[in-house]
């Protein structure tokens, strides 16, 4: 195939394919001594022995193999599951009571009313501010001192704050009470509770932001100007029903009189995103009905016996499905749903998350996976605390305590079990943050990968499935396998 | 935390951490209007929506997650296995008969004798050549025509070739007969059969290469010089016992009078490689005893019932463990063992494989995973065939037919079932090669990845476990669960 004279100096490489480099013209000279050309012409190390980084082989093929193995092993588990349980997906089998739907619908309309009440409170405050302004202009009290100003403002804010606090707290108390005592179905309960918490956060942001706007209106200060963006809608013009309605539907939890807006609504974009929401919701529903529920159910015995090896095995098996549901749910909510909503509202800032999957520190996970909540915490809790002299580390801990309460509210209330596991989970983030912070700052790639692995293990492979197991276990311990709630509460 | 004047133009990025960018000097101005700074200052797309390739986020975190999921899911299967079967590893339980060991040991010493016989044949041929040479010099027959030379040489070669053919074929027939009829243990059988095939290939290479050397010695031709490397040991000086012994132990199947050699033996390198061989062998043994054997055993019913879904499920489960054993075995044999052997023999060319895991075409897999055999096929089968005018494609097919026979010999004889599945597997490579060749040549990355996936699926995920199942099934059908071989043959 090659004349031995040329082969001697050439290395045999996989791309020196017989068929390719055998030119008909060379065949005559190659005819002689085919069995003799020097295959082993030079000393050469094996490619896996070779420590020289320039000659290291690529391992891209093993990455492809890894993806393939993940797909195949999960396909296999799906076949195993279908052979064991048959098809468990059933649309008519959903066990919710008429009472759940009625209370759910009622709350769905009642909760936003608290935003309306907040509007009326702000409307009264704005009237008051306008008359104060008129009086101030008349008396032309230029000599009045800054401290007196502040005291006057604080007295007025005190009563407004009480009104807002009563309104907001009532929203949360009413919704949580109804969900805890009268809505049995945990899915409906979670949606209602989440709605109530979102509206509660919006009411708080609306009240705080308007307080600052009012202060800036009454006592303008050239050294701290308002953001230029807000100039198109100055206080008190922003206290209007249309402005509030926009905030009510906008995909954000922090109130601004004006938001960056897009030019027009791209309806194809909206429909694509909504199709994603629909597709992913169905996928998640199938995944939980077919894979998570039987898994949770047959984990109960192991949990009750406190067999550690078995619990580990169940948590590991559950972690795949919970991770899948979590990733699909994240995409459906933060990418598809919020983008669709933002498009319809022509809301410009679509940064609902950043690339949290690459984080090396748990801190960055919490600042990047859920930007709407992070923005609320930053603007209305952390930053005011720090500006009042609270040390930043303490303020961070307080943010996590607050966030822990919200998480417990969102998980414990709809499942009718205030276990404080969700709260403890949030508290557990604090030591993890201080453990992983050095890894993010480290220069070495290994440290960053280690931080990323700690994040995935602590959060997705251990935290979530363990919490799901605990709440499911508590639910079953309280209600048995199906809803006995009705007999108990009514 | 930030004064609203500065925030307005800045984007909130995950690395703008509260604790980091709050300078004490800014606290005084930041004090006012904490609840007011513009969080949403600019329009911006979500990072997963962003189609602009320069702003695409990295997905490195998901790669880490993938590795983690593979580790966790296989750890879980290991827990499940240990709960189901307990520890299956047992050193004293190995069921081999005294007869197997005796015949195995006999063949271990008998097989290399065929190399010695080949040496004596070549020694006689060399004597003959030397006397021919002396006669030629005396008669000084310069006018003799080339055709006569050739005819003379062919006549001599004919008898030498017959002697070699008888010797080599006897080696293969004796070893295969003993293994098939008298050695029950498939492990011992495989080792002996592989030894016999390796020595057979070496004898063939020795005979062919020395024929060409002899021709070059008798009728030197300046237009086709021998490789320079061979000059240090010209024919017939290479026909010596020490030269043959080196070829016998050298990690190659192609005979060269001289090989590239290293300066010295690095004993630490040898010990490291041997430690790898030992460690990997134990790992493979544990993996097959604990994971593969129970899996194969409980696949038997599904195989017998021809339940397609179950067979698929078993093949998928088996593919993980067979892939693991295959990769570990490849590394143990081609990287660790052959490198250790080469180091001890001071054999320079360590290219026993190249990066076959990245191949996009099945063709490149077969030219790169097992270089010793590939070199043999190329030098002693493909290239002589092509130089005699056989079309390259036909020569390639003939190489695969020959390789198929060798594979069947190595699998079918030790398992006492000539099923032709290994042969069919090799034949199946030919259409796969013509299917995947265009993918390797394609410029697009997707085509290359597709080719790589076809390789992994066809070879490691389907081919190997299916073949293992078939031979295991046939073995069990013939012998039941343990060795009834003895009653049958004796």
- Which one of B6, B69, B70 would you mutate to disrupt binding with A, by most A Cβ within 10 Å of its Cβ? B69
Q: Check residues B20 and B177 and name the one with the higher pLDDT.
A: B177
Q: Please state the φ and ψ torsions of residue A10, each to the nearest 5 degrees.
A: -90, 145
Does the pLDDT of residue B148 top 80, yes or no? Answer: no
Chain A positions touching B259 (Cβ under 8 A) are 40
pLDDT given for residue A54 in this prediction? 66
Catalytic residue positions of A?
407
Task: Report CB contact under 8 Å: B383, A312.
Answer: no
pLDDT of A102-126, one tens digit each? 999 999 999 999 999 999 999 999 9
Residue B135 three-state SS: helix
Q: Does the pLDDT at position B210 exceed 50?
A: yes
Mean pLDDT calculated for residue range B179-184: 91
Range scoring the smallest mean pLDDT among A203-212, A459-468, B390-399, B426-435: A459-468
The C-alpha of B486 sits at a distance from chain A's nearest C-alpha, in angstroms, of 39
Could you tell me if A4 and B216 are in contact, meaning their C-beta atoms sit under 8 angstroms apart?
no
Mapping DSSP onto H, E and C, the string for chain A reads CCCHHHHCCCCCCCCCCHHHHCCHHHHHHHCCCCCCCCCCCCCECCCCCCCCHHHCCCCHHHHHHHHHHHHHHHHHHHHHHHHHHCCCCCCCCCCCCHHHHHHHHHHHHHCCHHHHHHHHHHHHHHHHHHHHHHHHHHHCCCCCCHHHHHHHHHHHHHHHHHHHHHHHHHHHHHHHHHHHHHCCCHHHHHHHHHHHHHHHHHHHHHHHHHHHHHHHHHCCCCCCCCCHHHHHCCCCCCCCHHHHHHHHHCCCCCCCCCCCECCCCCHHHHHHHHHHHHHHHHHHHHHHHHHHHHHHHCCHHHHHHCCHHHHHHHHHHHHHHHHHHHHHHHHHHHHHHHHHHHHHCCECECCCCCCHHHCCCHHHHHHHCCHHHHHHHHHHHHHHHHHCCCCHHHHHHHHHHHHHHHHHHHHHCCCCCCCCHHHHHHHHHHHHHHHHHHHHHCCCHHHHHHHHHHHHHHHHHHHHHHHHHHHHHHHHHHHCCCCCHHHHHC
| Interface contact flag, B18 A252, Cβ < 8 Å | no
Q: Under a CB-based contact definition with an 8 Å cutoff, are residues A40 and B260 in contact?
A: yes
Does position A475 have pLDDT exceeding 90, yes or no? no
Q: How far apart are CA A481 and CA B295, in angstroms?
A: 34
Task: Report the DSSP beta bridge partners of residue B349.
Answer: A44
Percentage of chain A modeled with pLDDT above 90: 46
Specify the pLDDT at position B20.
39
With pLDDT > 70 as the criterion, what percentage of chain B qualifies? 88
Cβ of B1 and A387 within 8 Å? Answer: yes
Strand partners, A44: B349
Cis bond before residue A296 (omega within 30° of 0): no
For residues B343 and B265, the answer to whether their CB atoms sit within 8 Å is: yes
More confidently predicted of A300 and B445:
B445
DSSP for residue B36: T
User: What's the confidence (pLDDT) of residue A164?
Assistant: 95
The pLDDT value given to residue B116: 95
Angstrom distances, CA of residue B174 to CA of A486, B109, B167, B414, B458: 82, 13, 11, 13, 35
Residues of A in contact with B76 (CB under 8 A): 313, 316-317
Cβ–Cβ gap A33/B73 under 8 Å: no
pLDDT at A143: 56
Instruction: Among A3, A10, A34, pick the best mutation site for testing chain B contact (most B Cβ within 10 A).
Output: A34
pLDDT of residue B51: 66
pLDDT over 50 at A83, yes or no: yes
**Chain B partners within 8 Å of A355 (Cβ):** 47, 57-58, 61
Contact criterion met (CB < 8 Å) for B41 and A227:
yes
Q: What is the pLDDT of residue A23?
A: 42
Residue A398 CA: distances (Å) to CA of A340, A378, A401, A404, B209 = 33, 12, 5, 10, 82
| Tokens describing residue B347 | 């054999």
Position A187 scores a pLDDT of 87
Please compute, for residue B214, the number of CA atoms within 13 A of its CA located in the half-sphere on the CB side. 27
Measure the CA–CA gap between A75 and A72, rounded to whole angstroms.
5
Give the chain A residue whose CA is nearest to the CA of B76. Answer: A313
Nearest chain A residue to B356 by CA distance is: A61
Angle separating helix axes B146-182 and B113-139, nearest 10 degrees: 170
Instruction: Tell me the chain A residues in contact with residue B228 when contact means C-beta distances shorter than 8 Å.
Output: 8
Distance CA B123, CA B117 (A): 10
Q: Nearest CA of chain B to the CA of A33: how many Å?
A: 5
- Of residues A14, A43, A348, nearest to B368 (C-beta): A14
Supply the pLDDT for residue B489. 36
Q: Give pLDDT, residue B155.
A: 84
CA distances (Å), origin A2, targets A21, A26, A264, B204, B260: 8, 8, 67, 20, 20
The residue among A447, A427, A269 whose CA lies nearest residue A342 is A269
d(CA B257, CA B209) in angstroms, rounded, equals 9
State how far residue A136 is from chain B, nearest Cα, in angstroms. Answer: 22
Rounded distance between C-alpha atoms, residue A161 and residue A163, angstroms: 5
Chain B residues with CB under 8 Å of A62 CB are 357
pLDDT at A144: 57
Provide the pLDDT for residue A56: 75
Residues in chain B closer than 8 A to A323 (CB atoms): 65, 69
Which chain A residues contact residue B43 at CB under 8 A?
Answer: 260-262, 348-350
Q: Chain-wide mean pLDDT for chain B?
A: 84
Query: In angstroms, rounded to a whole number, what is the distance separating the alpha carbons of residues A396 and A391?
Result: 9
Chain B residues with CB inside 8 Å of A57's CB? Answer: 354-355, 358
Residue with the bigger pLDDT between A375 and A482: it is A375
Contact B379 A34 (CB under 8 A): yes
Which pLDDT does position A39 carry in this prediction? 87
Interface A-B, measured as beta-carbon pairs within 8 A, has a size of 382
Least Cα distance to B357 among A43, A54, A53, A47 occurs for A47
H or E segment to which residue B175 belongs: helix B146-182
Interval B35-92: pLDDT, tens: 888 888 888 888 888 766 666 788 888 888 888 888 888 888 888 888 888 888 877 7
Residues A386, A389, A393: CA angle, nearest 5 degrees: 55
- For residue B356, CA distances in Å to A62, A106, B62, B105, B360 come to 10, 65, 25, 35, 9
pLDDT for residue B483: 40
Determine which one of B375, B380, B407, B416 is catalytic. Answer: B407
A212/B33 Cβ within 8 A: yes
Which residue, among B82, B102, B276, has the nearest Cα to B178 in the 3D structure?
A: B102
Q: Phi first, then psi: what are they for B325, rounded to 5°?
A: -65, -40
Structure tokens at A10: 């050439």
Tell which wins on pLDDT, A132 or B251: B251
- Residue to substitute from A42, A379, A393, interface B, most B β-carbons within 10 A: A379
For residue B132, is pLDDT > 70? yes
The SS3 assignment for B250 reads coil
Of A7, A316, A354, the CB nearest to B14: A354
- Paired with A149 in beta bridges are none
Residue B380 has pLDDT above 90, yes or no: yes
Q: Give yes or no for a cis peptide into B305 (omega within 30° of 0).
A: no
> How high does pLDDT run on average in chain A?
84
- Distance from the Cα of A143 to chain B's closest Cα (Å) equals 22
Mean pLDDT, range A49-71, rounded to an integer? 81
CB contact under 8 A, A205 and B1: no
**Residue range A142-185, pLDDT digits in tens:** 555 667 777 778 888 899 999 999 999 999 999 999 999 999 88
Percentages (nearest 5) of helix, strand, coil residues in chain B:
70, 0, 25
Residue of A nearest to B261 (CA): A43
Length of chain A: 490
Do B33 and A226 make contact, defined as CB atoms within 8 angstroms?
yes
CB atoms B46 and A351 under 8 Å:
yes
Partner-chain contact B216 A452, CB within 8 Å: no
Is residue A205's pLDDT more than 70? yes
Confidence category of residue B8, pLDDT binned at 50, 70, 90: very low
Distance of residue A440 Cα from the nearest chain B Cα, in angstroms: 11
- Average pLDDT, stretch A279-299? 88
pLDDT grade for A479, boundaries at 50, 70 and 90? confident
The answer to whether A273 and A341 have CB atoms below 8 angstroms apart is no
Q: What number is the average pLDDT over the span B224-252?
A: 91
Nearest to A348 among B43, B61, B338 (CB): B43
User: What is the structure's pLDDT at A141?
Assistant: 53
Nearest Cβ partner of B47 from A60, A319, A355? A355
By C-alpha distance, the chain A residue nearest B380 is: A35
Query: pLDDT digits over A405-440, tens only?
Result: 999 999 999 988 888 988 999 999 999 999 899 988
pLDDT score recorded for residue A371: 94
Q: Is the pLDDT of residue A79 over 90?
A: no
pLDDT in tens, B213-236: 998 888 887 777 888 889 899 888
- The SS3 call for residue B349 is strand
* Mean pLDDT, rounded, for A194-223: 91
Instruction: Search chain A and give the residue with CA nearest B229.
Output: A41
Place of tokens 């243990």: B185
Alpha carbons B290 and B318: distance in angstroms, whole number = 12
Mean per-residue pLDDT for B22-42?
64
* Among chain A residues, CA nearest to B334: A46
Q: Kindly report which listed range (A243-252, B27-36, B156-165, B389-398) carries the lowest average pLDDT score.
A: B27-36
Task: Determine the straight-line distance between the first and last CA of chain A, rounded to whole angstroms.
Answer: 90
Nearest chain A alpha carbon to B68 = A453
Contact by Cβ (8 Å): A280, A271: no
């Amino acid at each position: 195939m090659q004349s031995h004279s040329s082969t001697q100096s050439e290395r045999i490489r996989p791309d020196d394919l017989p068929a390719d480099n055998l030119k008909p013209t060379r065949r005559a000279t190659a005819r002689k001594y085919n069995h003799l050309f020097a295959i082993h012409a030079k000393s050469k190390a094996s490619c896996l022995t070779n420590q020289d980084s320039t000659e290291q082989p690529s391992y891209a093929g093993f990455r492809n193999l890894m993806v393939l193995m993940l797909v195949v092993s999960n396909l296999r588990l799906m076949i195993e599951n279908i052979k064991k349980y048959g098809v468990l997906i059933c649309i008519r089998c959903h066990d919710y009571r008429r009472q759940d739907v009625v209370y759910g619908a009622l709350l769905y309309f009642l909760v936003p009313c608290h935003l309306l009440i907040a509007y009326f409170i702000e409307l009264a405050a704005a009237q008051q501010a306008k008359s104060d302004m008129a009086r101030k202009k008349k008396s032309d009290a230029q000599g009045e001192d800054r401290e007196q100003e502040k005291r006057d403002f604080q007295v007025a804010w005190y009563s407004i704050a009480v009104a807002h606090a009563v309104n907001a707290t009532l929203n949360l108390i009413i919704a949580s009470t109804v969900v805890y005592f009268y809505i049995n179905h945990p899915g409906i309960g979670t949606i209602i509770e989440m709605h109530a918490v979102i509206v509660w956060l919006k009411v708080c942001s609306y009240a705080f932001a308007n307080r600052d706007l009012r202060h800036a209106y009454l006592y303008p200060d050239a050294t701290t100007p308002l953001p230029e963006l807000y100039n198109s809608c100055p206080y008190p013009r922003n206290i209007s029903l249309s402005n509030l309605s926009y905030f009510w539907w906008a995909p954000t939890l922090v109130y601004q009189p004006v938001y960056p807006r897009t030019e027009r609504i791209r309806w194809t974009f909206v429909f694509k995103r909504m199709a994603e929401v629909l597709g992913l919701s169905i996928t998640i529903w199938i995944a939980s009905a077919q894979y998570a529920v039987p898994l949770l159910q047959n984990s109960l015995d192991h949990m009750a016996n406190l067999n550690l090896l078995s619990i580990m095995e169940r948590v590991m098996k559950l972690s795949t499905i919970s991770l899948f549901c979590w990733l699909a749910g994240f995409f459906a909510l933060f990418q598809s749903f919020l983008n669709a909503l933002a498009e319809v509202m022509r809301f410009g800032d679509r940064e609902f998350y950043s690339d949290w999957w690459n984080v090396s520190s748990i801190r960055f996970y919490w600042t990047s996976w859920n930007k709407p909540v992070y923005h609320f915490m930053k603007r209305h809790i952390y930053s005011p605390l720090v500006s009042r002299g609270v040390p930043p580390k303490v303020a961070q801990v307080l943010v996590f305590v607050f966030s822990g309460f919200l998480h417990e509210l969102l998980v414990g209330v709809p499942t009718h079990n205030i276990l404080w596991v969700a709260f403890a989970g949030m508290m557990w983030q604090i030591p993890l943050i201080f453990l992983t912070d050095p890894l993010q700052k480290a220069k070495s790639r290994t440290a960053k990968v280690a931080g990323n692995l700690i994040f995935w293990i602590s959060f997705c492979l251990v935290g979530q499935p363990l919490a799901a197991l605990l709440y499911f276990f508590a639910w079953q311990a309280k209600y048995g396998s199906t809803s006995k709630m009705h007999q108990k509460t009514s």
